[in-house]
Amino acid sequence: MPNGINCLGWHKQVLLCSIFHILIKYKSFLALRGNYRMQGTIVNTLAIVVGALIGIALGRFVTSTLQKTITNTLGLATLVIGMQMALRADDLLPIVGALLLGTITGEVLKIEEGISALGERLKNLAYSRSSTFVVGFVSASFLYLLGAMSIIGAIEDGLGKPPTVLYLKSLLDFSASIALASAFGIGVAFAAISVFLFQGAISLAAAHLEFLSTAQVTSAISTMGGILIVAVGINLLEIAKIRLGSLLPGIVYIVLWALYQGS
């Protein structure tokens, strides 16, 4: 019985190895130039892919009962972390208002359907038959991106500062990827694409986004992100099925509110 990366189909191996090779080459190019820009995001992306591959290899030896236990444990841990983040806010009323407005906006724009469709396309691209591909991709993407570390770290990364925040985030995401991929499989590795595109876009526009790193804005993002992470935990525990994509615009509304309050 093969192990490690050999447990993937040849097309998945080629795709992941190609991404891995390109990112390493680009990171080496930046290092030669003494340029930190995007380096933190690339390390973060690689950490997720490597962690996911380790998790997939370990997942082959996990029974269905243990897999369910791991999923429940991840859900419980996610719930606690999200609650801890969400309850730091002094005033939850603006958060609730932004969340409601965001949900209405998300439903009108059909963001949940768009995210699910993207997950299905990636699943087809990976020639995956896994029934947990989309849930793994969506859950991992939300967990990796819904936090102030993602935005603050990407801004620092784009301004050419040492990406210390993203290096720490990479370590956390690496550990989470192992656990998530052992339960949900290859879909978790593809969440690295979400991280690369989101953090990369922020890094490239960092000169115009420094206002997002103020204490008031990061606090608002962290609180709203915590609520969305609670929603991820509820979905993992199968307590209810929350349409995560529909909640995303709430982050935009709470950032606008924080900027208004700080002006």
pLDDT of residue 32: 43
The CA angle 80-42-154, to the nearest 5 degrees, is 60
Query: How many Å apart are CA 211 and CA 216, to the nearest integer?
Result: 10
The DSSP result for 6-66, as a single string, is GGS-HHHHHHHHHHHHHHHHHHHHHHHHT--TTHHHHHHHHHHHHHHHHHHHHHTT--HHH
Residue 52: other Cβ atoms inside 10 A: 31
Dihedral class, residue 3 (left if φ above 0, else alpha if ψ from -120 to 50, else beta): beta
**Residue 119 contacts residue 244 (beta carbons within 8 Å):** no
**Residue 155 contacts residue 218 (beta carbons within 8 Å):** no
Residue for token digits 């700080």?
Answer: 262
pLDDT of residue 173: 94
Local confidence pLDDT in tens for the 263 residues of the chain: 334 444 455 555 555 565 555 555 555 544 544 555 788 999 999 999 999 999 999 888 878 888 889 889 999 999 999 999 988 888 889 999 999 999 999 999 999 999 999 999 999 988 888 888 999 999 999 999 988 889 889 998 888 888 889 999 999 999 999 999 998 999 999 999 999 999 999 998 987 888 888 888 988 999 999 999 999 999 999 999 999 999 999 999 999 999 998 77
Query: How many Å apart are CA 51 and CA 47, to the nearest integer?
Result: 6
Residue 117: other Cβ atoms inside 10 A: 12
Query: How many Å apart are CA 102 and CA 60, to the nearest integer?
Result: 39
Query: How many Å apart are CA 135 and CA 119, to the nearest integer?
Result: 8
Query: How many Å apart are CA 92 and CA 84, to the nearest integer?
Result: 14
- Rounded to the nearest 5°, which phi and psi values hold at 187? -60, -30
pLDDT of residue 5: 44
pLDDT of residue 24: 59
Residue 64: other Cβ atoms inside 10 A: 7
pLDDT of residue 27: 53
Determine if the pTM surpasses 0.85.
Answer: no
Residue 231: name the closest of 146, 150, 173 by CA: 146
**Residue 38 contacts residue 200 (beta carbons within 8 Å):** yes
